[in-house]
Every structure is written in structure tokens, then in C-alpha cells.
A and B are shown apart, each in its own frame.
Chain A
Amino acid sequence: MASVTSMAMPGDPAAAHRLSEARIAWMLALPAIVLLFLFVLLPVVAVIILGFTDFELGYGTFRFVGLENYADLITDRTFRRSLWNTAVYTAIVAPVSICLGLAIAMLIESETAARSFFRTAYFLPVASLIVAMATVWQYMFHPTIGPLNGLLSLVGLSGPNWLGSSGTVLYSLSIIGVWQSVGFNMVLFLAGLTAIPRELYAAAEVDGARSAVDRFFLVTWPMLGPTTLFVITISITNAVKVFETVKTLTEGGPNKASEVLLFTIYQEGFVYLRVGYASAMTVVFLAILVVLMFLQYRLLDRRVHYT
């Protein structure tokens, strides 16, 4: 009887506890929620709205122009060039750094000597200041005094003007991009490889997978599925976000041959201060990230074998 009344009472201790638990939870999460709105969600909404305006920093007024910015983007040659260059850069850097990362991880995994030395050597670029290392690469790539062309001339070849000619600049930047991201992928693959149970290889051998290639496709590759999925998405999104090397070394040149998406946005928004137009570009950039995320979940997820 007493228990029945207590359950019906508003002062029920269990309900009160739940209420106070919820209140405390809100309190603990509140700073994060406020900051998340202030520094992430609100700015994203603002950038979408700004994309429909002709807002320029330094001018008092602005007006809504509808889809005008987007219409301009389609015909903007610089923007189209930067989209194309970003795509080319990504199409080189992502696959090469993924394959090299996997290959190095497998070599290190099957080798017993000097493991930690090799891991350190390949990982060092990830921990180095990219602006600084870009400067070093600029010296390496120097057409007359650079060691790269110095080596080439030893075998009688005359090297290109790596960063200085529009035909090679994007490839030179890609080399730096690959150099910088391989170690990161390698570490992720190494973690994935060590997680594969040894018995699976023994079982595969019993089932007739004699060669290393057979074992790779029967065991390693499927078991690395989740890792590979992560590495693919990270590599692509990181390649799409290339900025530091371009800003440091080429400023988009020569002849806009290394103009990439983030550099164009930076230039429009923070140098020319055309915030409205740059916002429209940012929306395109965000849309690319959303599509990549969507692809990760929808297309790739199905082919992955989870343990």
C-alpha cells in the first residue's frame, strides 16, 4: 500500500532521481553544447546564408542575391581550375599514399629487424611542421641548386623546374603530399595488421592458400576492411583540404596551375574580402565533404567484413 502511494506521489524518489540525473547531465553538457552552437553550427548556418549575399568586408550594406554567386561559380574559370586541380591532387595523393602505406606496413610487419627505426623514419613527416618541411622541399626541388636535379644530372638527365613550371607543379606538390601522409596511413594499417589473429593464416594455409599473394587476398585484405575504409576516407578528405604547401610554396601559381579549392576560398574571402562569394565556394567545399561521408557509409560499408 505504502509503495503504491509512493509511486503515484510526485515526490517519488526514483522519478526525482531521474530528474536530478537529467538536470546534472544537462549541466555537464551545457558548456559543450553552447560552444558547439557558437563555433560550429551557427557559423555553418551563417556561411550558407552568406553564400546567398554579396557581402564584402569593409562595406556597410549587403543584399541577398539568390543563386547569383553559384551561377558565377559555374562560369568562374579560377574556381573551375581549382576544383579540377584539387581533384587531380586527390586522385594522385590518396591512392598512392594508401597503397604505399599498406605496402610499408606489411613489410615492417613481416620484418623483425629494426622495426621501430623504420616506423619512426616513415612516421617522422607526420609529426613535422608541414610549413617548415615544405620549405625544405622547396630547396630539394630547386631547379639549379636543388639536390633532386643534382642527382638527375649525375645520370645525365636534366630535371624539370619542379615547382616553377605549370606542367609539373601539381605533381611536385603531390610528391610532398604523399611523403607527408604515408606514415599516418602506415601506422593505421600496422594497427589493423596486428589485430588479425595468427590462426587465420594457418587456417588459410590448410585450405590451400600456399602463396603469399593467396594469403593476402584470402585473409589480410578482407580483415583489413574496416581499417582500409577509415584510411580511404581520411586520405581523401585530407587531400581535398590541401592548403599549407600551396600557400607556402606556390600561391596557386604558376598560371593558376596549383590553384586548389581551399587556396581559392582563402584568396577570395580573406585577401579580396569578398565574403559572400567565398561563402558560396565554402558551401561547395562542405558539400564535397558531405558526399564523401555519405559514400563512406553507403557504398564502402557494404563491402567491409567486420570481425
Chain B
Amino acid sequence: MTTSAFPFGRLIRLALLCLGAIVFLAPYVFMISTAGKAQSDIFTSSLSLVPEHFNYVQNFTKALSRVPMGRLLWNGVVVCGLIFFFQVLVAIPCAYAMAKLRFRAARMMMVLVMLGLLVPIHATALPLYVAFDRTSLLNSYAVLVAPFTISVFAIFMFLQFFRAMPDDLIHAARLDGMSELGIVARVIVPNAWPAVTAFAIFSVVAHWNDLYWPLVVISRQDFATPPLGLMYFRAAEAGDDYGALMAATLTITLPLVAVFLLAQKRFVEGITMTGLKG
């Protein structure tokens, strides 16, 4: 019975999946096609995907020269790198202490972590902005990184991971005369690698894409992150030169998409592991 229904059902399934994929990929196709079109081309034949005259070089030259594209991407790398580094540095020891050491504050810490999961940057941005304004720290890498050095989500995730780790591993290390700090550095961290990579994916995607906080604290182009830089570019182009705009968009989208395509499996695993975020 199932075999006779098989080809027809499968055909419908494949058709639906293909149709959906076309719809989902359409913006990328148009982005790539429009990035190569001249202004006149864009305003006449909007449905032809292949540019009439290949204008990629001109559009990319515009995109790269109107805003300091290299600088923007570099800022994105620096900010995401620093945020990730501090998040892991702070969260791993804390999660280890909560999972494997006995101390009274552990339960209170758990409550704090759960509360912290609830609070997005949008809720704390106002007082933080006032504080950074008072300390004249606006427009710096420090202000972009500082509020995210603590990630309760990282603590939560590492905590789950460490709880599943066998206690014997730690006991053995203690018997070998390792200090607790040594255990964290040489036993916990190497074993926490899957959790760290999964968290890295989550953290980098979140902060590479974040617009809210950079928009609030950065007003100079030197410290603009990619999303903010693209906002400046849009403003400078008055939003009408779609060829150059798409070239800029492509340049800024490409790094993360390329990383995603290369490390796809890890990426999806990471989102599955970290996706359980509220």
C-alpha cells in the first residue's frame, strides 16, 4: 500500500521542498544579480537575472570606496572575537564551580542565571548608555564589548555540559595534585570543546548581526560594526543606487555565510544545542 503511494507522495514532497527553497533563496539570487547591474539596467529589466552589462567591478568599487569596508569587517572580527574570548573566560570557571564544587551560593547563582536569561540588551541599554556616557567611553571597542563579557547563556550551557561530565575525571586530577585552577585549564576546558564551539557559533552570529547596541553607542565610522556600517552606506547612497547597495550587502553578508557553508554541520549542531535559548 505504501509502495504504490510512494512515487506520488514523494513527488509532491519534493515539489514543495523545491518551491520553498526557491522562495527562500530568491533574495540571495537577486542580491547577486543586482550587484552586477548598472543603474539603467536595474530600472528597465527587473526580472532578468543576468545583467545586461556586467557592472560588478564598478558596483564593488563603489561599495568598497564609499565606506571603509575593510575597517568595518575588521571591527566586526575584533568585537566578536573579544566578546567570545571574555564570555568563555568568565563563564567556564563559574559554570565549573556551580556544577562540580560545593558552595552555598550555587543555588542563588542559579536563580541569577535564570533571571539573566530573561534580560536582553534592549532592556539594559538605557542605564548602560548613561553610565558609558558619564565615563566618556562611547565610541570605543570597550563599550561594544563590555556589556557582553558576561553571558548567562554561556554559564547555563556550560553548566549543563559540566554536569554530564563524570566526577571521577576531576577526582583523579585532584589525586594527581592538580589545583582547581589547573583542573579547569587542563581537564575541563579540553573536554568542553564541543560546548565551546557550539557556543562560539551562537555568540558570533548574535554579535556579528547585532544592530541595537552598536547603533546606540557608536556614532563614529572608525568603530562601526558591519550592520552599522551598512546603515551608514545606505544613508550615503540615499538608498537608490541598488547596484552598489547590493554589492555592499553582498560583501558584508559573505563572510558569515561562507563560514556557515564551510562548517555547516557544526553550525546546525551548534544551533540545536544552543537554540534552546529564551
Beta-carbon contacts under 8 Å, B221-264 to A: 226-227, 230-231, 234, 239, 242, 245-246, 249, 252-253, 256-257, 260-261, 264
The verdict on A65 contacting chain B, using a C-beta distance below 8 Å, is no
Q: Which chain B residues lie closer than 8 Å to A147 at the CB level?
A: 26, 30, 46-47
Report A's interface with B, CB cutoff 8 A.
18, 21-22, 24-26, 28-29, 31-33, 35-36, 38-44, 46-47, 50, 57, 104, 107-108, 110-111, 113-114, 116-133, 135-140, 142, 145-147, 150-151, 154, 179, 182-184, 187-188, 190-191, 230, 233-234, 237, 241, 243-244, 247-248, 262, 265-266, 269-270, 275, 278-279, 282, 285-286, 289-290, 293, 296
- Among residues of B, the one whose C-beta sits closest to the C-beta of A122 is B24
Q: Which chain B residues lie closer than 8 Å to A18 at the CB level?
A: 102
> CB-CB contacts of B105-143 with A at 8 A, as 1s and 0s?
110010010011011101111111110010000000000
Stretch in B15-23, B51-59, B77-85, B192-200 touching the partner: B15-23
- From residue A267, how far is it (CB to closest CB) to chain B in Å? 12
A40-B152, A136-B246 are known contacts. Are A28 and B180 too (CB-CB below 8 A)?
Answer: yes
Question: In the bound complex, do residue B230 and residue A29 qualify as a contact, i.e. CB atoms below 8 Å apart?
Answer: no
Question: In the bound complex, do residue B256 and residue A128 qualify as a contact, i.e. CB atoms below 8 Å apart?
Answer: yes
A234 and B120 alpha carbons, distance in the complex (Å): 13
- Among residues of B, the one whose C-beta sits closest to the C-beta of A34 is B150
Question: In the bound complex, do residue A290 and residue B93 qualify as a contact, i.e. CB atoms below 8 Å apart?
Answer: no
- Of B180, B226, B260, the residue contacting A124 (CB under 8 A) is B260
Question: In the bound complex, do residue A150 and residue B46 qualify as a contact, i.e. CB atoms below 8 Å apart?
Answer: yes
- Please tell me the size bucket of the interface on B: 35 or more
A36 and B109 alpha carbons, distance in the complex (Å): 10
Q: Which chain A residues lie closer than 8 Å to B20 at the CB level?
A: 104, 121-122
Q: Which chain A residues lie closer than 8 Å to B30 at the CB level?
A: 136, 139-140, 147
Secondary structure dominating the interface of A: helix
7 nearest A-B pairs in the assembled complex, by CB-CB distance: A32-B94, A43-B124, A35-B150, A46-B127, A25-B103, A28-B93, A25-B101
- Of B46, B125, B150, B261, the residue contacting A146 (CB under 8 A) is B46
Q: Which chain B residues lie closer than 8 Å to A282 at the CB level?
A: 122-123, 126
- From residue B262, how far is it (CB to closest CB) to chain A in Å? 11
- Of A57, A146, A150, the residue contacting B130 (CB under 8 A) is A57
Question: In the bound complex, do residue B252 and residue A21 qualify as a contact, i.e. CB atoms below 8 Å apart?
Answer: no
28 contacts between A and B (CB under 8 A): A28-B101, A28-B181, A29-B98, A31-B93, A35-B149, A40-B150, A43-B123, A46-B126, A104-B17, A111-B17, A113-B14, A121-B24, A123-B271, A129-B226, A130-B211, A131-B231, A132-B226, A132-B252, A136-B246, A136-B249, A147-B46, A179-B24, A191-B275, A233-B278, A244-B209, A262-B212, A278-B126, A279-B127
